[in-house]
Structure formats: C-alpha cells, structure tokens
C-alpha cells in the first residue's frame, strides 16, 4: 500500500517534470527544474542580458521574475498529490523586495499549501545568491483539474 | 500680438516617436518578448507580437501566464516611463535630439504587481493599455487591461504600484 502511494508520487513528479520541461516560454527563459514533488517546486533562471530591464544597472526586468514565479507556482500545483498535471493561473500577486544582483541566477521556491476541489493556493519566494534576503515574494491561485471519478 | 506659430505636426510626431523608440530600444527584455508600441498622441498601446516561444500550454495551446504577466508589467512601466520622459522633453531638461542611456530618465521600479487572469490567452497577438490612476512624487498606481480580438473581452488585467525615480 505504502509502496503504491510512493510509486504514484514518483510517477506524478516525473509527469510534472516532463510537462514543465516542455513549456516553450520557460525554455525561452532557460528555466530549469531543480526540485519537484508533493506540492513543492524549485525552479531556477540563469542571468542573461536578454532579461535585463534597466541597462544602466543590469538588473533583470520585474516581468522576468514574475514569469519565473508563475512557472514555479504552476509546477507546485501540478506536483500536488490531489491535482492533475495541467493548471492555469487565476491570480498572481508579486511583491518586489529588492533588485536582483546582476549576473546571479534567480531561484524560485513555491509551495502549494492548500487545495480545494477547484482551486490551488501557492506561496513562493525568489532568491539570488543571497539566500537570506528574498528578491521577491508571491501568492497565487491556480485552477485544479481533477481525475474523472471512476 | 506676437505668437510663436505651432510646430509643424510631423516634427512633433517625429520627436514623440523618437522618445518612445529610445525607451523601447534600451530595454533588452522588451525586445526578448517581442513587444512593440503604437502611439496616438499620448496614448500608448502595447502589442505582444505572437511567437511560438510565448506558449505555456502546448496542448491547448495558450499563452504562458508568465509571458502575460511580463507583458502587462512592461506596458505599465512604459506608460509611466514615457510620460516622465515626455515631461522632461517638454520642460527642456532633456533634448529629444540627444537621447542616450545617459540622458534618458530612470524608469520606475515595481513595488508590487497583481495579475488577474480572466481567460486563456490565444496563440495570436495581444494588446494592452495602461491607465495611471495615481502618480505622486514617490509612488504611482497603474491599472492595465489586455485583450486580443475583442476590446470588450479582456483576457487579463493587472494593478501595480511603482516607486518613481528621483528627479533632478
């Protein structure tokens, strides 16, 4: 019984990983999945000149950080035991605490902390190399696709 | 009665377009996403020119929520940035003939941004217009609406707060 559950969780993580790695926009921003499973996802996005919002400072555009947060939030939902692989964002709020340090990879960590029949709620934080001071924080609501009752 | 005659319209238009182009061209992320801007007077419409790389769900297919969020944030910042630059030019603090990274004003910084996804983004061009609801010395509040085929059927909207650049 326990084995079966574990197998299913591993299966789910694998499917979610395949799904996320096939997303064209995440690929365009060179995002990579570092960790996934059980409603938790960690995704990183390397620094690139293409993402810069202010050439005077070299700081990445806020929109690129939002894109990372959205992807990571969606991944967390897809990896949740009660949701299917496949979700859409309903609402996403992002707070920018400080500019990301130019040249550094940004890593987002999202937790799907509650799932209802139709909605999944996530919290996320993004960091550069300084893991003590987040660059941004996000909260979001996503749709939940469920297995058809058999 | 000595009045300066108004400037020829094409000179004014050309100067405004140059100011807008200068802001767009200096921002790499705007180029990466393939966003362009239409201008009618001081009204800007941001255009997200469709490209396969903007897809988030290849099975539907639908635009990526992150691409949509980026698009709306770019539209909001450009709305604020363009008006800051326009004021600088009108007041003679910046010359439209000498726009460079050094003379261009700093752009506002996002404090927070909330995106409301109303329906999935179809694989085609999208448009957005931003409205500045409040713009003070330090903070601004901006609302953005985005649509595709039908202006009345928004597919996303957003509200954001921005820290205005210190001037002078």
Q: What is the pLDDT of residue B29?
A: 96
In B, which residues are within 8 Å of A68 by CB distance? 66
- DSSP-assigned letters across all residues of B44-113: EEEEE---GGGEEETTTTEE-HHHHHHHHHHHHHHHHHHHHHHHHHHTTSS-GGG--TTTSPPPPEEEEE
Q: Which of A27, A74, A91 sits opposite B115 (nearest CB)?
A: A91
Q: How many CB atoms lie within 10 A of CB A43?
A: 27
Interface contact B111-A66, CB threshold 8 A: no
The closest of B116, B67, B113 to A136, measured between CA atoms, is B113
> CA-CA-CA-CA torsion for B157, B161, B165, B167, nearest 10 degrees?
100
Q: What is the pLDDT of residue A2?
A: 58
pLDDT in tens, chain A (150 residues): 556 677 777 777 777 778 777 899 999 999 999 999 999 999 999 999 999 998 889 999 999 999 999 999 999 999 998 887 789 999 999 999 999 999 999 999 999 999 999 999 999 999 999 999 999 999 999 999 876 554
Token couple for B129: 């217009």
CA angle (A141, A146, A150) in 5-degree steps:
165
pLDDT in tens, B12-65: 888 888 889 989 999 999 999 999 999 998 899 999 999 999 999 888 899 999
B50 at interface of A, judged by CB pairs closer than 8 A: no
* ipTM score above 0.95: no
Pairing of strands A119-127, A136-143: antiparallel
pLDDT in tens, B69-109: 999 999 999 999 999 988 888 888 888 777 776 778 888 99
pTM for the whole thing?
Answer: 0.92
Q: What is the pLDDT of residue A147?
A: 61
Residue B143: pLDDT over 70: yes
Interface contact B66-A66, CB threshold 8 A: yes
Q: What is the pLDDT of residue B124?
A: 97
- DSSP-assigned letters across all residues of A72-103: HHHHHHHTSTTS-S---EEEEEEEE-SPPPTT
In B, which residues are within 8 Å of A88 by CB distance? 57, 62, 65, 117, 120
Measure the CA–CA gap between B101 and A117, rounded to whole angstroms. 51
In A, which residues are within 8 Å of B55 by CB distance? 23-25
Interface contact B109-A22, CB threshold 8 A: no
């Amino acid at each position: 019984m326990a084995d079966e559950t574990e197998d299913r969780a591993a299966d789910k993580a694998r499917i979610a990983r395949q799904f996320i790695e096939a997303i064209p926009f995440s690929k365009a921003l060179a995002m990579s999945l570092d960790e996934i499973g059980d409603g938790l996802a960690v995704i990183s996005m390397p620094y690139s000149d293409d993402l810069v919002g202010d050439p005077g400072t070299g700081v990445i555009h806020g929109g690129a950080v939002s894109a990372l947060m959205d992807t990571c939030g969606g991944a967390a939902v897809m990896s949740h035991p009660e949701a299917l692989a496949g979700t859409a964002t309903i609402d996403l709020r992002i707070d920018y605490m400080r500019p990301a340090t130019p040249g550094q990879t940004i890593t987002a960590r999202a937790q799907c902390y509650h799932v209802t029949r139709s909605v999944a709620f996530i919290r996320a934080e993004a960091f550069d190399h300084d893991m003590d001071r987040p660059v941004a924080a996000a909260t979001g609501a996503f749709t939940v696709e469920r297995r058809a009752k058999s | 009665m000595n009045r300066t005659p108004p400037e020829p319209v094409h000179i004014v238009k050309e100067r405004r377009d140059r100011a807008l182009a200068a802001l767009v061209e200096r921002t790499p992320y705007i180029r990466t996403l393939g966003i362009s801007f239409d201008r009618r007077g001081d009204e800007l419409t941001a255009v997200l020119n469709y490209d396969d790389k903007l897809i988030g769900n290849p099975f539907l297919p639908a635009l990526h929520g992150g691409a949509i969020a980026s698009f709306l944030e770019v539209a909001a910042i450009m709305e604020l940035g363009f008006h800051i630059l326009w004021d600088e030019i009108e007041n003679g603090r910046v010359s439209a003939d000498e726009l460079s990274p050094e003379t261009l004003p700093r752009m506002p910084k996002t404090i927070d941004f909330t995106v409301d996804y109303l329906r999935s983004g179809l694989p085609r061009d999208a448009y957005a217009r931003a409205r500045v609801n409040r713009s003070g010395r330090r903070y601004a509040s901006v609302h953005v609406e985005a649509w595709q085929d039908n202006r009345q059927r928004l597919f996303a909207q957003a509200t954001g707060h921005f820290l205005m650049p210190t001037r002078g």
